[in-house]
């Protein structure tokens, strides 16, 4: 029996090695399948009722981003937001930007708002509320800059201005309108005549 046991030992070792080889082959194929699945544009996680607060260097809230739903995609690290609202709170007159949908870049520095974009600046120091409406707007929240490459409509009290494109820098307080700018300007206080 001892002679027979020694003759089965190489067969047992070969069987174990064959089993390990088959197992390693299957494991590596599963890892490749996982990698190819990551190339598909599928959500890897989502969240409901999202609230994100950004603080400035002094510790005061710079802005608050709220969305009904957030979906993140692992293949390109992009994020989609449903009904986003971006509130800038670090100014005398609060500013809110909202839309039906938005996409956020991988690094979070760029937000593209689409579908019924509305920017509302509260009334302040005797100036009436201001609004801006467009179909698409790119926002750089940290820099407080915006650009609309679709037609825009600005209102402030009775003043209404339309343009094909718009760029804005909230920190500087500058708005640039481009392409067939038209409007009616109304002054609340008439300019005295000399």
Q: Please give the full DSSP string across 27-90, using - where no structure is assigned.
A: HHHHHHHHHHHHTS--EEEEEEEEEEEEE-TTS-EEEEEEEEEEEEETTTTEEEEES-EEEE-S
82 plus 161 within the same structural domain: yes
Mean pLDDT of 82-108: 85
70 plus 15 within the same structural domain: no
Specify if 86 maps to a domain. Answer: yes
Residue 116 is predicted with a pLDDT of 92
Residue 123 has pLDDT above 60, yes or no: yes
Residue 83 is predicted with a pLDDT of 92
Residues 85, 99 contacting (CB under 8 angstroms):
no
Lowest mean pLDDT among 49-63, 110-124, 131-145, 178-192: 178-192
Helix (H) or strand (E) holding 94: none
Specify if 193 maps to a domain. Answer: no
Mean pLDDT of 186-191: 65
Q: How many CB atoms lie within 10 A of CB 82?
A: 16
Residue 137 sits in a domain whose CATH number is 2.60.450.10
Mean pLDDT of 87-91: 78
Residue 36 is predicted with a pLDDT of 45
167 plus 99 within the same structural domain: yes
Specify if 191 maps to a domain. Answer: no
Specify if 10 maps to a domain. Answer: yes
How far is Cα 101 from Cα 115, in angstroms, rounded to an integer?
A: 6
39 or 121, which is more confident: 121
Specify if 190 maps to a domain. Answer: no
In which domain, by residue range, is 5 found? 1-39
50 plus 98 within the same structural domain: yes
Closest CA to 41 of 10, 5, 71: 71
90 or 64, which is more confident: 64
Q: What pTM was estimated for this model as a whole?
A: 0.68
């Amino acid at each position: 029996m001892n002679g027979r046991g020694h003759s089965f030992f190489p067969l047992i070792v070969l069987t174990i090695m064959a089993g390990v080889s088959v197992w390693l082959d299957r494991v590596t194929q599963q890892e490749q399948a996982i990698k190819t699945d990551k190339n598909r544009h599928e959500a890897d996680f989502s969240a409901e009722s999202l609230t994100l607060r950004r603080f400035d260097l002094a510790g005061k809230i710079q802005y608050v981003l709220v969305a009904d739903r957030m979906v993140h995609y692992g293949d390109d690290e992009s994020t989609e937001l449903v009904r986003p609202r971006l509130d800038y709170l670090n100014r005398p007159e609060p500013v809110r930007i909202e839309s039906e949908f938005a996409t956020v870049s991988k690094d979070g520095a760029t937000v593209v708002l689409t579908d019924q974009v509305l920017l509302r600046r509260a009334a302040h120091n005797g100036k009436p509320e201001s609004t801006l409406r467009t179909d698409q707007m790119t926002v750089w929240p940290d820099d407080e800059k915006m650009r609309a490459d679709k037609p825009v409509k600005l209102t402030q009290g009775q003043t209404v201005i339309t343009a094909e494109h718009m760029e804005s820098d909230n920190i500087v307080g500058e708005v640039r309108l481009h392409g067939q700018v038209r409007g009616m300007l109304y002054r609340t206080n008439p300019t005295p005549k000399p």
